[in-house]
Amino acid sequence: MIANLSFAFIALVASETEGGSGSLLSVNGGLAFWTVVTFLLLLLVLKKFAWKPILSALKQREDAIKDSLEQAEKAKEDAKKILSENQNSLAKAEEEAKKIIEQSKLFAESLKEKMITESKEQAKRLIEEASAEIDRKKNAAFDELKNQIAEISVNAAEKILRENLDAQKNKKIVDKYISDINKN
């Protein structure tokens, strides 16, 4: 039944086609011919002079945009890296400076300590030397004094012996002598 219907439809279309300009479904061979010619020409001309340059220009531009985006991304990454490197080296330098200051502080402290002890020792030595010198001088003075006393005593004895043997007088003489010595 469906086949019959479709045959009927085809027959209807065909009869209308034979009617010429009477049907919407009639195919004009001339028009089809000109469509083929026009479309093929259009396709060739546009392909060569329009689509190729346009599509390649679009692609070029898209690639350029992609490239510059990638480059920007890379530059950003690089800048980040450099920044972190800078921060690292800055931190390192700070640490080093701190260490140097610490070290110099320690050194200064030790130097101070050393100088103080050294100067103390030197003073002590000087004092010791001075006291030794004083002792020595004192001893020498005593020795000299002793010698002088002995000499004076001998001289006094000699004088006493030369004078008479008056005890009282002798005594006076001795006293006078001694007081003379004291005056000296």
Partner 1 sequence: MIDSTSTSKAIADSLAATQTEKGTDWILHHVMDSNYFDFSPFLKLYLPHIQLFGFDISLTRQIVIMWLGAILLTVVMIGVAKSYKKSQIPKGFHNLWEIIIIFVRDEIAKPTIGKGYEKFLPYLLTAFFFILFGNFLGLIPFSATFTSNIAVTATLATFSFVVIQLGGIKTNGPFGYFKGLIPHGVPILLIPIMVIVEFLGLFTKPFALAIRLFANMTAGHIVIYALISLIFVMHNILWAGIAIPIALFIYLLEILVSLLQAYIFTILSSLFIGMAVYQDH
Asked if 80 touches partner 1 (CB under 8 A), the answer is: no
Site for partner 1 in 44-63 (CB under 8 A): 45-47, 49-55, 57-58, 60-61
Residue pair 17/11 in contact (Cβ under 8 Å)? The answer is no
Q: Find the binder of partner 1 among 10, 14, 64, 108 (CB under 8 A).
A: 64
Count of residues of this chain found to bind partner 1 when the rule CB under 8 A is applied: 34
Contact characters 27-46, partner 1, x per CB under 8 A = xxxxxxxxxx-xx-xxx-xx
Rg (CA), the chain: 69
**Interaction with partner 1 in 3-22: which residues (CB under 8 A)?**
21
In this complex, which beta carbon is closest to partner 1, that of residue 51 or of residue 107?
51
Nearer CB in complex with partner 1: 55/150: 55
Q: Which positions lie near partner 1, rule CB under 8 A?
A: 21, 24-36, 38-39, 41-43, 45-47, 49-55, 57-58, 60-61, 64
